[in-house]
Amino acid sequence: MRSPNPHANARPAQEAQAFCALPAMAARETDFRRGTLPTGFRGPRPGTTEGEVLSERTRSIAADGLPGRYAAALFDLARAERAVAPTRAALARLGEAMETVPELRALVSGRQVDTSGAAVLAVADALGLSRLVRSFLGVVARNRRLRALPAIIRAFEARVDALEGVETAQVRAAHPLSQSQLEALKRQLKARTGADMRLDVTIDPAILGGLVVRIGSTQIDSSVRTRLDRLAQQMKG
């Protein structure tokens, strides 16, 4: 007879404890601002000092706000389980479902309330999401934070990109870009920054043409709208 594994229930218990701590993370935001390492911080990545990682994390938390705190909790748990890539893939499937499933859009938009988490967990089961992501969604629903879910997913992806040395460029375009245009833009941005790029593209007809690209705090604005505004200012002068 196989002897029982004393560690068999350790991971679910640790996960439950970490998720239970999520509501308190908002109160600990001041710890980040004061330079105090939060509970569960796993130290620096290879090749960086702890001070550098803390500085990076502090800026990220301050920028991302509540979605960043939830994403950080999920990211830490995924790293602990060596499941960062599968978790990202599961969140990507969830993001696609939010675009195509009206019932899920209603949950996320707040038009339908799911304080018990039952509805969103049913969606997670239908999508075949992992236990980790399923548990996380339950916490988000019970804390009435489903409306923040798209931003949480983006914040999680940003952390994975940082881990892999990939930067995210927020791109606004007047019209949808073809695959060849996207690839050309990636090459141009890599030549400019030296980093591999992931493009987060949104369509904004108000810019009329061209692109507005933001990488971190740097913005490159080649939109027709901005050029017309500049021309109008010059003519006034």
Query: Same structural domain for residues 213 and 146?
Result: no
CATH of the domain at 190: 3.40.30
Query: Same structural domain for residues 102 and 58?
Result: yes
Mean pLDDT of 29-45: 37
In whole angstroms, what is the distance from residue 69 CA to residue 66 CA? 5
Query: Same structural domain for residues 113 and 186?
Result: no
Query: Same structural domain for residues 108 and 217?
Result: no
pLDDT tens by residue, 144-158: 888 999 999 989 998
pLDDT of 120: 81
Full domain range(s) for residue 74? 10-162
In whole angstroms, what is the distance from residue 222 CA to residue 71 CA? 32
Query: Same structural domain for residues 99 and 127?
Result: yes
Query: Would residue 2 count as lying in a domain?
Result: no
Query: Would residue 142 count as lying in a domain?
Result: yes
Higher confidence at residue 27 or residue 233? Answer: 233
- By the 8 A CB rule, do 194 and 146 touch? no
pTM over 0.75: no
Query: Would residue 56 count as lying in a domain?
Result: yes
Overall domain count for the chain: 2
Q: Is the pLDDT of residue 14 over 60?
A: no
pLDDT tens by residue, 114-137: 666 788 888 888 889 999 999 999
Query: Same structural domain for residues 155 and 184?
Result: no
pLDDT of 26: 37
Q: In what order do the strands lie in the sheet with 196-203?
A: 196-203, 166-173, 211-215, 218-221
Query: Same structural domain for residues 104 and 33?
Result: yes
pLDDT tens by residue, 61-91: 444 588 889 999 999 999 999 999 999 999 9
Mean pLDDT of 98-109: 83
pLDDT tens by residue, 197-225: 889 899 999 999 989 999 888 898 989 99
pLDDT of 217: 82
Q: Is the pLDDT of residue 15 over 50?
A: no
Query: Same structural domain for residues 128 and 214?
Result: no
